[in-house]
Chain A
Amino acid sequence: DTGVSQDPRHKITKRGQNVTFRCDPISEHNRLYWYRQTLGQGPEFLTYFQNEAQLEKSRLLSDRFSAERPKGSFSTLEIQRTEQGDSAMYLCASSLARGSGNTIYFGEGSWLTVV
């Protein structure tokens, strides 16, 4: 069990550019989540997958954001035409899917700075 892995850990990009983050969940976990956290705030839910199916998207996930989990293993989160307001830490997490109450394990996060 190597934990949830995220890459890159830090990304600085110019406004208007596209960025992509990758997440590798804990190997036996079939649920994968994306959260966004800004400085001094709690994480906000963006979306989650069960296997390769995207089951819910928050209204925070604008049309510029897209997440995929093509084979039910790793996931990518792409932000198109980045804006300064997208600057945040993007957290990936994973869990088993057995109803509610499963422990959700987080990665170290990917920091995005849009300049």
Chain B
Amino acid sequence: AQSVAQPEDQVNVAEGNPLTVKCTYSVSGNPYLFWYVQYPNRGLQFLLKYITGDNLVKGSYGFEAEFNKSQTSFHLKKPSALVSDSALYFCAVDDYKLSFGAGTTVTVRA
């Protein structure tokens, strides 16, 4: 079965500092990997996905993610975090449906 893991329950950063949210995957074959963000009491918003090709994927709101096959990782990054980036972030793997990690709560302090 395909799965992802998010090793950190919480990430705290100061505004303006780089933000990294970690994700590792366990997949047979080529992985299709996604990042979503969820604000309180809202649905999930798509940020970006890796299908094939360039290992650095750029997405919405200034986020990007780096696919690393040797480390089986797909970490989400933002060079300069904003307070408005505070939310719950989910990594997911697509096997004709999405399987999600447990989520990482990001808090960006002013």
Contacts and interface: CB of A to CB of B under 8 A. Distances in A.
A100 interface: yes
B97 A101 contact: no
B43 A106 contact: yes
Interface in B28-67: 32, 34, 36, 41-46, 49, 51
A42 B101 contact: yes
Contacts, number: 56
A42 B96 CA distance: 17
Main SS of the interface on chain A?
Answer: loop
Contact of A100 (B90, B94, B101, B103): B94
Contacts of B51: 101
Interface residues of B, number: 22
A108 B97 contact: no
Interface in B76-92: 90
Contact of A103 (B43, B46, B101): B46
B42 A109 contact: yes
Given A100-B32, A101-B32, A45 B46 contact: no
B49 A42 contact: no
A26 interface: no
Nearest to B101: A42
Contact of A42 (B42, B43, B45, B103): B103
Interface of B: 32, 34, 36, 41-46, 49, 51, 90, 94-103
Interface of A: 4, 6, 33, 40-45, 48, 56, 91, 93, 99-109, 111
15 contacts: A41-B103, A42-B100, A42-B102, A43-B98, A43-B100, A44-B100, A45-B98, A56-B97, A91-B44, A99-B96, A100-B96, A101-B49, A101-B94, A108-B42, A109-B42
